[in-house]
Amino acid sequence: MALSLQSPPSPTLSASIHQKGRWKTLAAGFSVSPLPAVNFTLRRSIPRIYASSSSFSSPSSSSLEAGENNELDAVSAFSEIVPDTVVFDDFERFPPTAATVSSALLLGICGLPDTIFRNAVDMALADSSCAGLETTESRLSCFFNKAMVNVGGDLVKLVPGRVSTEVDARLAYDTNAILRKVHDLLRLYNEIDVPHDRLLFKIPATWQGIEAARLLESEGIQTHLTFVYSFAQAAAAAQAGASVIQIFVGRLRDWARNHSGDTEIEAAIKSGEDPGLALVRRSYNYIHKYGYKSKLMAAAVRNKQDLFSLLGVDYVIAPLKVLQSLKDSPAISDDEKYSFVRKLSPETATHYNFTNKELVKWDQLSLASAMGPASVELLSAGVEGYANQAKRVEELFGKIWPPPNV
């Protein structure tokens, strides 16, 4: 792939990324429609990291088929494997399937003025409709929305899957505010002709966020619920019809190592299971046994053992070091720990048993009662972290606006 990180001389995005790039973008992967025509090519010797077509057809029970000569090829027959971070130097090794545009991404862009995305931010800060707003708060919010959408529009041209747009986490406990924000962002995407089916909107899985997802999905707007750390959240998100539900495997494990008193985590440990992996398994089986449309994403996967334990889950976000290890390892292995056997499937989900307490129709009260200290603390920390990043973006925009030569 011949790509360049230098900003193009015109507002048109250049799809060239240079090997000297050092900057990272956060990614989350969701395969749907085919890649629009853009000016770059892929060497076919470099494997794309896909599980299957957008229809998510069921892979075979064994991945050791012709042409699958390394572990990355093998595991990709079961789940869509997505790089946790997309480093521009690594586009050739691990071409991204999809992306997330976030406040963290905007901060990174502003810190590296020669990236191909800097023009998208500068154009947002030069927007006359935002500049003409009366209050500083409304002006900075407008710039923030424009920058997110401009970068998201550029990412749509670079990846074949969907682009997830982070919804301001400061709104995480206000359903109506989330709805207004998503509608504002979608209106801006319409102005730059980005199809709705290429978009997801990433919302924290508070009760208010889950309710917002339900209402948005009823309008045909695809949602991505994040910071899911309990079965109650996952089940409520599935009942709401969220398109993607994201569970952070490693963060639950980290919490369990340093805390106690969460009955859901203690039940998993008592049965000999890792709490993060156990939550993914229960959530996957619930979604598939009862016919919910949601796709499940396992994030914060720390090692190959985590990944092999979740083969069959819809999406796995894996660190680059894990992906490189998979790519460097032959698919045929005598190590049973790393055997290529599908662990999760719609068929096996039908045999999983749930208690009556788990099969309730979730509402705000039942969700609050069911969430243990781990999910409460981790959800709160995630929301706070995202909110602080959004605030930092607006503060930075206030310092650099208006941009030079505008």
Between the CA of residue 31 and those of 163, 388, 399, what are the distances in Å? 10, 30, 38
Active site (annotated) includes residue 304? no
Q: Which one is catalytic: 157, 181, 202, 304?
A: 202
Beta bridge partners of 379: none
Beta bridge partners of 225: 203, 245
Contact 323, 304 (CB under 8 A): no
Between the CA of residue 14 and those of 38, 119, 344, what are the distances in Å? 9, 11, 40
Distance (Å, rounded) from C-alpha 184 to C-alpha 145? 8
Active site residues: 202
